[in-house]
């Protein structure tokens, strides 16, 4: 260390008495503040007790490691160091009294046995508890916090509900509101051979609502999906659900990011937004193909913008260059999701096809967009998510599929060395 360099804030250790302190002056101290020895910084061979395993051995230098457990010599070792069993934080208390809580995680149980980490399957809240099976979730107060739940939506009437059926979407026969047995399949469309109109096929023998004499005088509407840009015609009495992506349409104009909306588009690509599952995500489309996506929170954090800023910039010519750069960024990172596929196969025991679905979901893709990208029925994708949820459960990982969990596996310690 330079002679002219300040010593203020430097941590020192006395080899004579084991005292550890922080220098508060610019000049080096002459003696140890506890034992007053001027040879405080001269290493000597002395007995040292390991904080981690309690082994006692002769310390030769400050770089020595415990011969029993292999932990390096710590300046805290001969002081009254405190170790939090909940977050593994170590600190030196300022007084001789036992600390009331850990200064890092604020836990009063820092010196007790490590608490169980529990997650509510209803609201996704994660907490630590002394008992293995608490009566209710401290966040939503649900007594059924440990029951596996599935958030489902009818693709015919748009109704949303929570199901605890152990078979997932397979175990649900009909929508509880409209009673449709095809609740998990978007409505089919036909193209009229007479006028070319794309319309919803209701039942056998149904005719085009635009030019059919049967529907003459009835209110007919032309619909446009702001998310996937599909267009079709239907009677105004029908539920406005996109037959392509299965996402409900916005019935009322909104002045914030709610539902689905188009943010920007040029001749080849477009950016759209949806919060179908209460998790906002921006998607990059090339024609009718979803290329990649980015979570709204990640996007706002990276651009240092607010939701109001995004709303103002949506479809604005003034911010055309800004949205072009956003599209380029999302496109640049379009294949990064593939890096997770081998890991999901090994950690959860999934086949490659199911692991790809999960990897796309981790990128932000909702089940409806995954179905469009992989050109598979939404019903099949729902069944894949049922298998994924079972794989999570079999591996002791608690996940609520009604909320987006950025990395649920990271919350749990691996038992097979994969993490």
- Clarify whether residues 276 and 347 are in a common domain: no
Q: What is the DSSP letter of 250?
A: P
**Most confidently modeled of 213-222, 248-257, 306-315?**
306-315
Comparing CA positions, the residue from 406, 392, 397 lying closest to residue 363 is: 406
Does residue 102 sit within a domain?
no
- Clarify whether residues 310 and 344 are in a common domain: no
Looking at per-residue confidence, does 250 or 295 come out higher? Answer: 295
**Last residue within a domain, chosen from 297, 332, 367:** 332
36: left (phi over 0), alpha (psi -120 to 50) or beta: left
- Give the percent of the chain with pLDDT over 70: 76
- pLDDT at position 412: 46
E strand or H helix at 392, and its extent?
helix 378-394
- pLDDT at position 251: 45
Q: Tell me the CB-side half-sphere exposure of residue 190, using CA atoms within 13 A.
A: 15
**Which class for 266: exposed (0-12), middle (13-18), buried (19 or more C-beta within 10 A)?**
exposed
Average pLDDT on 410-417 reads: 43
Looking at per-residue confidence, does 214 or 411 come out higher? Answer: 214
Q: If you average pLDDT over every residue of the chain, what do you get?
A: 76
Does residue 376 sit within a domain?
yes
How many domains are contained in the chain? 2
- pLDDT at position 28: 86
- pLDDT at position 419: 34
pLDDT band at 374 (very low <50, low <70, confident <90, very high): very high
pLDDT at 216 over 60: no
- Clarify whether residues 300 and 344 are in a common domain: no
Q: What is the pTM of this model?
A: 0.53
- pLDDT at position 63: 60
pLDDT at 392 over 70: yes
Q: How confident is the model over 125-165, as pLDDT tens digits?
A: 777 777 778 888 888 888 877 776 677 778 777 787 877 77
- pLDDT at position 414: 39
pLDDT at 350 over 60: yes
pLDDT band at 236 (very low <50, low <70, confident <90, very high): low
- Residue numbers of the domain that contains 379: 338-411
Does residue 13 sit within a domain?
no
How many angstroms separate the CA atoms of 138 and 145, rounded?
10
Average pLDDT on 3-27 reads: 77
pLDDT band at 398 (very low <50, low <70, confident <90, very high): low
Average pLDDT on 361-368 reads: 86
Does residue 125 sit within a domain?
no
- pLDDT at position 277: 62
In contact, 51 and 81? CB cutoff 8 Å: yes
Does residue 37 sit within a domain?
no
Average pLDDT on 54-77 reads: 69
């Amino acid at each position: 260390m330079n002679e002219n360099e300040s010593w203020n804030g430097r941590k020192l250790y006395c080899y004579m008495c084991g005292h550890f302190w922080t220098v508060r002056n610019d000049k080096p101290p002459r003696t140890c503040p506890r034992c007053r020895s001027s040879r405080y910084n001269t290493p000597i061979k002395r007995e040292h007790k390991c904080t981690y395993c309690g082994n006692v051995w002769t310390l030769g230098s400050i770089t020595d490691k415990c011969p029993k457990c292999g932990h390096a010599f710590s300046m805290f070792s001969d002081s009254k160091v405190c170790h939090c069993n909940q977050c593994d934080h170590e600190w030196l208390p300022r007084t001789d009294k036992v600390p009331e809580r850990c200064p890092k995680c604020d836990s009063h149980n820092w010196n007790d046995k490590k608490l169980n980490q529990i997650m509510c399957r209803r609201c996704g809240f994660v907490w630590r508890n002394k008992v293995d099976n608490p009566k209710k979730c401290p966040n939503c107060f649900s007594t059924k916090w440990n029951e596996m739940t599935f958030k489902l939506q009818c693709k015919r009437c748009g109704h949303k509900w929570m199901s605890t059926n152990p078979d997932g979407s397979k175990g649900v026969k009909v929508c509880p509101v409209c009673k449709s047995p095809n609740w998990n399949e978007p409505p089919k469309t036909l193209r009229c051979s007479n006028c070319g109109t794309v319309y919803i096929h209701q039942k056998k023998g149904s005719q085009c609502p635009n030019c059919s004499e049967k529907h003459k005088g009835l209110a007919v509407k032309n619909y446009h999906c702001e998310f996937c840009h599909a267009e079709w015609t239907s009677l105004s009495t029908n539920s406005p659900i996109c037959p392509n992506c299965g996402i409900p349409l916005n019935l009322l104009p909104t002045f914030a990011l709610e539902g689905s909306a188009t943010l920007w588009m040029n001749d080849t690509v477009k950016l759209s937004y949806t919060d179908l599952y209460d998790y906002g995500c921006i998607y990059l489309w090339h024609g009718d193909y979803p290329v990649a996506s980015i979570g709204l929170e990640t996007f706002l954090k990276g651009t240092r913008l607010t939701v109001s800023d995004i709303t103002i910039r949506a479809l604005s010519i003034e911010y055309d260059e800004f949205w072009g750069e956003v599209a380029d960024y999302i496109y640049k990172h379009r294949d990064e999701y593939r890096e997770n596929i081998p890991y999901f196969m090994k950690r959860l025991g999934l086949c490659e096809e199911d692991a790809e679905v999960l990897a796309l979901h981790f990128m932000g893709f909702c089940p409806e967009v995954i179905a469009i990208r992989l050109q598979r029925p939404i019903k099949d994708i729902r069944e894949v998510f049922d298998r994924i949820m079972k794989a999570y459960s079999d591996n002791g990982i608690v996940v609520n599929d009604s909320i987006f969990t950025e990395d649920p596996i990271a919350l749990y310690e691996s038992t097979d060395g994969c993490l």
